[in-house]
Structure formats: C-alpha cells, structure tokens
Amino acid sequence: MQPFTTFKSVAAPLPIAKIDTGVIVPGRFMRLRRRPGQADYAHVFLHDLRFLDNGAPRVDFVLNEAAYQGAGILVTGPDFGCGSSREGAAYAVLDFGVRALIGPSFGDVFVGNCMQNGIVTVVLPLPEIKAMWQQLQQKPGSQIEVNLLHQKVLGPDGRVYPFEFDQTRKQRLLQGLDDIGVTLTHLDRIESFEAQYRLKKRWIQART
C-alpha cells in the first residue's frame, strides 16, 4: 500500500453521526469485483447518500457540490464506520480518493481495515471537529493537512490540532506496510526456516 507521511487536500465536512459500513458501501455492492490498480468501489462510496433512487446525484449533498470535488479528507461525525466489519467500506473510502478521516470517533474494526489500506483515521474532540465543520462550510474548498509523522492536523484556519495515534499502526502506515507487508519483511528468515525444516523432514518434500 502507499505510505502515509503528510497529506494535504481539499476537505469536506460530513456532520452526520453513525454513518455505518452499510451506508459507506451498501450490501448490494459487496460482490463487486475489485481489480488491482482500479478504483472499482469509488462509485458506490456513500452511494445512497450521494444518489437518488433513479441514479441522479443529490444536488444538496456535500460531496456532490463543486467546491468539494476531489476532497481527499473528510471531517466526519461520531462513530463513522460503525456496524458490520465489511472491508469493502475501507475500499470505498480509498477508491473515492480519501486518504484521511478526521472525526470524534470511529468503528474499531473499520479503523483496522483503514490501516490495512493506507487510510489514516484521526480522532479529535467533538468541539474541535465542530469548529472544522464551520470553517469548511464557511469557506468551501478549504484545505486541511494531516501530518502523521508529527501527529498534527493543520486546520483550514491555520490552527494546529495535535492528535494521539497508535505507534505500531503509525510505523506501518509511514512505511506503507499492511499485515502481508510486515510478514514479507521477515521473508529471508521464513525461507531459511522452511529450507532447514524440509531437510529435517524430507518426507514433507516428497509429498509435495
């Protein structure tokens, strides 16, 4: 996955509480094939909030407004990503072009899935989130910067918001390592062990 150090982008306010994973990516899209290098889940991200039943965009929804097009950061409401553990929700966030989510709280499993896909979830107190919502609504198209290395957010007004972050997850994100990537850092030792093990247990090699 792509490493995350510092990311600056247009930010969009999403002041809706408890947007669960079933809203982030509706269940009827979960069989959608996701091909390497393709943003297959981009269209289904928040599909039922972004589109009417006839498929037309909801003109009054924030992500359909011209000023917020290309937003790579969302400032969310409480408990974003709660509900089921579907990993497709993280795919949809990433495929839509969002690399950072800032909110007062997130679903635990969703946070883990985001980390595996290079998405940073920043937790800040609700009053600070509300201040960002107001700034983004007053000046649509404003940018926010998320600095994971130094664990700080630079708000639209230039204010610095420090945040806490799990250090193990931080190091993995900085290096662009998911669970498989972490395992592969030990590849030489794994292959050495397997080679020695096959010498001791030759019957295993014979059966393979």
* Domain ranges, ordered by start, for the chain: 6-177, 178-208
Would you state the pLDDT for residue 192? 82
Is domain 6-177 in CATH 3.20.19.10, yes or no? yes
Would you state the pLDDT for residue 85? 87
pLDDT exceeds 70 at position 145: yes
Q: pLDDT tens digit string along 17-74? A: 999 999 999 999 988 888 888 899 999 999 999 999 999 999 999 999 999 999 999 9
Would you state the pLDDT for residue 199? 78
Q: pLDDT tens digit string along 69-107? A: 999 999 999 999 999 889 999 999 999 999 999 999 999
Structural element, H or E, at residue 11: strand 6-14
Band (pLDDT 50/70/90 cuts) for residue 183 is confident
Question: Strand order in 100-103's β-sheet?
Answer: 120-123, 100-103, 73-76, 6-14, 143-147, 152-154, 160-162
What is this structure's pTM?
0.89
- The letter for the amino acid at 107 is G
